[in-house]
Every structure is written in structure tokens, then in C-alpha cells.
Amino acid sequence: MFDELEGKLIADKYRVERLIRESDSGDLYHGKHDITGQPVILRILPRALAMDARWAKAFLDSARAAASIDDRNVLRLTDFGTDSKGTVYAVHESVNERTLADLIADETNLDQAKALNFAVQAADGARAIQDKGYVHGDISPENIFIDGDEARLLPTVSSSSDVTSRKTSNYVAPEQLGEFSVTDERSDVYSLGAVIYRSLTGEMPAEELVPMSAFRQDLHKQIEPILSTALARSADERYQTIAAFAEDLKRVRDEVTPSKASAATAGKNIWQTAFIALAGIVLLGGALIYFTTGKKTDPETAMAVDVNAMPVQPIGPATGAQEESLMKFVASTDATVLDPMLTPPGTLAGGDDGLNPWANGGAPPIGAPAPMGGVIPPTGMPPAVYIPPGGQTVTVDPSIGGSQFMPPEGGVILVPIPASTPEPKVESTPKTPAANTAAPQPTPGTATTGPKTFATPQPKAPKTTKPATKPKSGPAAETGSPSGTQ
């Protein structure tokens, strides 16, 4: 039979390559689509059974039901039928040909976490079949394909009324044996329980179930009670649904594989933390961009202009250069040029308190405040920079108590003149006034050398006026010395 099918074309499009294994539900072969080259798994009903119409019909009905199932733990069926040569076939997607039976043969007493993981996936596949109203009816290690950590169930679907559902496998439930077999959801529970027992102990379950602790001591304490329930001889004493059986298996699997669950959770937490950090950076960057570009202020528009404000000239370091140049300018400039730049006549240079030394005319000395209401020269020169050559005399009424510019009781205030100022020639030296006499007059023809002293004269003493000599009246007035008398 092997020689007949290997290399043959089925249904004019599937090329048979090599046998995987024989089974009464159909022999499995590796093959490929002859046009597309896509690898496939071919399940072909043996020719001796295909000649029986009942077996052929049961096979095609099972294939039709399996084609309606779409689950990750069930090997997907893509095509089925009978070709022109009478070959009854079904086509499944390609998968690793390694089965759980091969794994058990290579690794006696599988790791409990690995065995339970495969069992849970097979249970999920069986539940997907039952959700469509069918039962698998032939769960065995040979029908569970292993690909890495994934298990996929080959869908040999049957119904409880099928007479051809009778199996001779060691994994079938007791009610499936005998002349009047019954197959239902609880039958799949028993078959899967037997598969797990074999995976963990390396032995088939007997009619009297041998405790699993007799084979190994490292199993979870809940595994044996779960399998004892699933392998009960009476269907009524088992799990009544494959879903309930799967829930208990998942709970134990998660407990015996904490590292895997923790790693998954840790990985998830790492990604969550990375996402939160990235989101925080994006939000912070967006906020910085928003406040530095979208919300930036323009100083020209943000600051209101004070129309009453006075211009402010920045003050540079005090070097004395400006003052020195100003002194040179004053010394070298004719008074007639500077006269228009002086404070207008009758204008107070610094205040109206009556004590201003420049209130009676003239110009304030260099460095004095600019005159209030004064005129700024067109040339930009500071106001009040000219000092008349003859000095300036200010008379202060003693009754007002003096001022900050002269002592209350008289005296002389010396006003320094810069050294660069040329020494004026004085034609006369004032005499020191005598007490109770009039102010001294300069003596013509005398001259002095040296810097000129600006003196503030003492208040003048009141003049003593002699009474006019009235002419004598009467005879006395007319009487003189006798003529001729000396």
C-alpha cells in the first residue's frame, strides 16, 4: 500500500510524498500542492475501508464537520472528498510531524509543567470541537501534534450515533468499547486523562488506577485527585464537561510554572514602564515646546510704554575723562560763545527757596544741577558751564539764617578752580577793610600774582552821616572875627 500511494497524485492536485503513520481513522502522509507547492498533510482512508460505503460516509462526514472548526489548537482542514480513482481523502494544513507520542518515547516521565501545558491546549481544542456539537472521539498522543510549546489536535470528528466510532485505542473510554458504544463529551475527558497519566508516569492507566506517587514524588499534590476524577470508570463520576476539566488543569499548570508566569508579567511590566516613561518624555517635550514657542511673549508688546517717563542715560564708570574734557572746553572757549548757552536771565538754576546762590544771575559752577526749566544748548553741551572771569558775588540776607553755600555768621568760602584753568591777571588787590568803614576800593596801579581768590565780602557797616552844619542866624551868625584880627 505504501508503494501504491507514495509519489501518486490525489484529486489531480495533491502529490503524496511519505507516510507519517497508519491509523484506522486515516493514514497520514506528508504531501504538497502540485500547483502551488504548498506543503500539506494528507489523511487518506485505507482502500479496504473506503470500499465500505458506511466507512467512507463516516470519514467524509467527519471531514465536513472538522472543516467548520477554526481554533488555534485544532489542525485546520482545507479540503476533502473522493477523487476519480475512488480515493477518500482529507487535506490539513502542514505542521511539524512530531507528535506527543514521539515526545513521550524520547522523554519518559515528562516535566509536569510541559505535560500539563500540552494537555490544556488539547483540552481547548476538544472544547472548540464540542462547541460545534461534535466530540473528538479519538484523543490520543498520536493525534496531538507538537510544534515548540504549542499543541494542536488532529480533528477526527464523530457523533454519538456513529457505529464506526468504535475504537480499539488504549485511550478510549470504557463506554466506547463493546457492541453498543456510546461517545459523548465525557468520553473525551477520559481519553485526555489517560494521555496525561501516560505522559507523567510512562504507564497506561489500569482498571485499578495505581497512585501516581508510586512512580514519582515531584508531582503537584492536586494532579492525582484531578486525574482520578477524569479516569473514573463511570462516566457519571467524571468531569461532566471538558471545560471544567481544563479549568482545573490550568490552575495546577500555573502553579507549577511560576517562573514562566512571572517572566510574562515582568516583561509586561517592563513594557508598561517604558511606555509610561516615553509618554512622560513626549508630554514634557511638548509642554516645553508649547511654552517656549506658542506662549512666548514679545517684550515690545508685553511692556506698556509710560508716556510720562523720562529718558534714562546709562551711567558709565567714573573715569573723570568727561569732566576733564569739559574743563578744557571751558578754558579754551571765548565767553561770548558760551553766553547763549548759559541759563536765561531771571531763571533760577536750582530751586526757588530764595537761597540759591545763582538766583541773581550768572551761571552755576561746573557739576551743579541743570537749571529747572532751563534751555538745553543746541550743541548738546551741558548747561551752565561758564564762570565769569571776575567771579560771582552773592549777597544773602542774614535774617534768613544763611544757606548751604555760606556760613550763618559770615566768612569766606573758597571755590576751587581746576588746575588747567589759566590764571587771570588781577590788576588790583583789594585792601582789607577797616572796621566800621566802607568797603575798600582797589588801589590803581597794583597787581598781584597767583590764583585769584573769590572772596565773599562781609556785610557793609552802615555809613555814619554827619549832620549838615546849619548857618547860624541872627547877630551871632553875622558876627565874625573883627576885621584885621588874626
User: What SS3 string covers 269-304?
Assistant: HHHHHHHHHHHHHHHHHHHHHHHHHHCCCCHHHHCC
**From CA 64, how far away is CA 210, in angstroms rounded?**
40
**From CA 126, how far away is CA 195, in angstroms rounded?**
13
Residue 106 C-alpha cell reads as 524520547
Dihedral Cα 371, 376, 381, 387, nearest 10 deg: -40
For 365, counting Cβ atoms within 10 Å of its Cβ (0-12 exposed, 13-18 middle, 19+ buried), the class is middle
**From CA 128, how far away is CA 73, in angstroms rounded?**
9
Looking at 3.40.1280.10, 3.30.200.20, 3.10.20.600, 3.40.190.290, the CATH number of the domain 1-94 comes to 3.30.200.20
CATH 1.10.510.10 fits 96-258, yes or no: yes
Q: What is the pLDDT along the chain (486 residues), one digit of tens a residue?
A: 445 889 999 999 999 999 998 887 889 999 999 999 999 999 999 988 999 999 999 999 999 999 999 999 999 999 999 999 999 999 999 988 789 999 999 887 789 999 999 999 999 999 999 999 899 989 999 999 999 999 999 998 776 545 444 465 789 999 988 766 788 999 999 999 999 999 999 999 988 889 998 999 999 999 999 999 999 999 999 999 999 999 999 999 999 986 654 555 555 667 777 778 787 787 777 777 766 665 555 545 555 666 666 665 555 566 666 677 766 765 665 555 555 555 455 544 444 445 555 555 555 555 555 554 444 444 444 444 445 555 556 565 666 555 555 555 555 555 555 555 555 555 555 555 444 444 445 444 444 444 444 444 455 555 544 444 444 444 444 444 444 443
Residue 300 C-alpha cell reads as 515690545
Domain positions in the chain: 1-94, 96-258
H or E element: which one contains 123?
Answer: helix 112-131
Residue 203 C-alpha cell reads as 504507564
If DSSP codes are grouped into helix, strand and coil, which group holds residue 14?
Answer: strand
Dihedral Cα 371, 372, 373, 378, nearest 10 deg: 40
Backbone angles phi, psi at 309, to 5 degrees: -75, 150
**From CA 72, how far away is CA 110, in angstroms rounded?**
23
pTM for this model (two decimals):
0.54
**From CA 49, how far away is CA 252, in angstroms rounded?**
42
Domain 1-94 and domain 96-258, same fold? Reply is no
What pLDDT score does 11 carry? 94
Identify residue 449 by its one-letter amino acid code: T
